[in-house]
Amino acid sequence: MERQRKRGSLLIHGILWVISGLFLAPFLWMLSTSLKPLDQTMTNPPQWIPSSIHFENYWNAVSYNKDVLGYIPFVVYGVNTLALCILVVSGTVISNAVVAYAFARLRWPGRDVAFALTLATMMIPFPVLMVPLFALFRNLDWIGSFRPLWVPAFFGGAFNIFLLRQFFRTIPFELSEAAKLDGCSEWGIFTRVVLPLCKPALAVVALFSFLGTWKDFLGPLIYLMDQKSFTLSLGLQFYQSQHGGTQWNLLMAASTIMVAPIIILFFFTQKTFIKGISVTGIKG
Amino acid sequence: MGALQEDPQTSGGSELTAKRKEAFAGLAFASPWFIGFTVFLAGPLLMSMYYSFCDYSVLRKPVWVGGDNYAEIMHDEVFWQALKNTFVYAAISLPMGLVVSIAVALLLNTNVKGMAFYRTIIYLPSLVPTVALAVLWLWMFNGEYGLINETAKRFAVSPPNWLGDPLWSKPALALMSLWGVGGAVVIYLAGLQDVPQSLYEAADLDGASPWRKTWHVTLPMISPVIQFNMIMGIIGSLQVFSEPYIMFPGGAPERSTYMYTMYLFDNAFTFQKMGYASAMGWILFILIFILTMLALKGSDKRVHTGAM
């Protein structure tokens, strides 16, 4: 029995090693290519370890290297993306916390209908809204600015409302009652009693919205017009064959720079992340 | 409770004001959502329905044309091609993704050392920004010097020219999407943690093999999670846009990767046919709605509802 179990766990380790290898290989390939000289990026058979390491690829990828790449203000894209992320994350956390509080802990007429409606909106595909939203933002003269990308974040979103509501309901209602007897206002109960107890859930919402904004491609593609206001997602496209051949080593260096902050963030927030996914309570 | 000491009449009154106060606070707290729902969801949805019956470009005001857009769509070869491409892509990537994510989740739920490490590695790719992911895979799939084909050749397999062959471009996209199963895997893992241990203990007493335990205990118990992931998968894969848009400009080769949302986007922003694009949006909405309902109904009998 014991030997059988040992053999079983060895087998599982083996399979997991192979799967991990398959999941890691593209990353390692990206990293390896980002350090190669250009003429080594297309060797046959592929070389995993560059014969000489070229850290300057990273410098060339982010500096305005007019001869090699044309005008790609990578640093500007990075700053744009970060600023957008900060706006979206603050809007998402504030608005969803407030709204979820109403759905989780207050009784008001029409609440249950409104909540069902909120959940139903998750089924609306973005392509249906693409044209009317563009028309709306155009009427507001917002096209070309960042506003279409962050202002809606300040008005809540179905998934985050659902997630926070689940979490808010686990806080004992006696705490609210006690605070109310002490003369605390509803806003006071929200900010001083419930929110401090819900930091893990708020962190999850912040993390998800940061990652979503950092990754987003379609939104910036629709609303941003001027090359200088682009985000990393849009800017990275320019590394592809500007003048004939693609500089794969520089493209991979730029990709690595774009992926690195997310991987670092994930390593530091892993626990929050996993907890967050279990608080969503998706059991059906 | 303080109310007990008060005389019944005033207590009734204060209870009523308390209720009214709470209702008022509730509406106030919920108001950002009401505004957002009206301005960014319901309003645009109604406008989109109106536009779908109009000839409309950014530069001109919408002109009512009745059902013309819908009639034109029915005879639009490109529309049907894009719809077919999207369905073929979904038909390949959904089942593959479902099987792979469940299998990986089951493996990651076993009790072996170093699990946190494996879980992290499998989750990482789903964090990679779409653009970085797309250019990386362009590079991996390259027919001449891509890593995949070079590796295949070493094993004396003659690999297809993924990106240049209309037959292989969609499987390439589907294969690539497998790299992002991490998100679904994590949701399965959360579901697996909730399967009561007592069920396994009972199965052990009956001398059930690990395989039978998986088949008769684990899978039925996580069926609601499978259903959830399946529906999210349907909704997501029918809207696929960024990866093919970046990797296959114009849906190359031979429009084999021209997806529904790409054609919708081109109609709206390249050809300035916004009414037409709106009609396409509504057709997609209806298709997603029907498929979601079918997935819910069709799997209802198989889904274990005890956990709900």
| CA-based nearest distance A117→chain B, Å | 10
Contact (CB, 8 A) for A254 and A74: yes
Share of chain A above pLDDT 90, in %: 52
- The torsion of the CA quartet B169, B171, B173, B178, rounded to 10 degrees, works out to -160
A92-115 pLDDT per residue, tens: 999 999 999 999 999 999 999 999
B245-257 pLDDT per residue, tens: 999 988 989 999 9
The β-bridge partners of A47 are none
- Residue B303 to residue A137: CA distance in whole angstroms: 43
Scanning B195-234 for CB atoms below 8 A from A yields 210, 223-225, 227-228
CA distances in angstroms from A256 to A29, A207, A250, B209, listed in the order given: 11, 20, 10, 45
Q: Could you tell me which of B47, B56, B44, B46 has the C-alpha nearest to residue B274?
A: B56
Cβ pairs A/B, distance under 8 A: 279
B42 C-beta neighbours (distance < 10 Å), count: 15
**Of B32-41, B154-163, B184-193, B213-222, which gets the smallest average pLDDT?**
B154-163
**Average pLDDT score over chain B:** 88
Residue A179, C-beta contacts closer than 8 angstroms, at least 6 positions apart: A188, A189, A192, A193
Residue B180, C-beta contacts closer than 8 angstroms, at least 6 positions apart: B125, B126, B133
- Residue A10 to residue B110: CA distance in whole angstroms: 12
Q: Which helix (H) or strand (E) holds B242?
A: helix B242-247
Contact (CB, 8 A) for B229 and B184: yes
B190·A277 Cβ contact <8 A: yes
Q: At B6, is the pLDDT very low, low, confident or very high (cuts 50, 70, 90)?
A: very low
pLDDT of A116 higher than 60: yes
State the pLDDT at residue B302.
67
DSSP code for B160: -
The β-bridge partners of B54 are B64
Scanning B95-124 for CB atoms below 8 A from A yields 104, 107-108, 110-112, 114, 116-118, 120-124
State the pLDDT at residue B67.
95
| CA neighbours closer than 13 Å in the CB half-sphere of residue B275 | 22
pLDDT of A45 higher than 80: no
Show residues of chain B in contact with A21, CB under 8 Å: none
State the pLDDT at residue A283.
37
Q: At B4, is the pLDDT very low, low, confident or very high (cuts 50, 70, 90)?
A: very low
State the pLDDT at residue A244.
54
A250-263 pLDDT per residue, tens: 888 988 999 898 88
- Residue B231 to residue B290: CA distance in whole angstroms: 11
Share of chain B above pLDDT 90, in %: 54
Q: What is the largest distance, in Å, between two alpha-carbon atoms of chain A?
A: 76
| CA-based nearest distance B232→chain A, Å | 9
- The torsion of the CA quartet A145, A150, A155, A160, rounded to 10 degrees, works out to 150
Q: What are phi and psi of A205, to 5 degrees?
A: -60, -45
A228 C-beta neighbours (distance < 10 Å), count: 12
State the pLDDT at residue A40.
82
A123 vs A128 pLDDT, higher one: A128
State the pLDDT at residue B305.
59
Whether the CB of B66 is below 8 Å from some CB of chain A: the reply is no
Interface mutation target, options B1, B29, B118, chain A, most CBs of A under 10 Å: B29
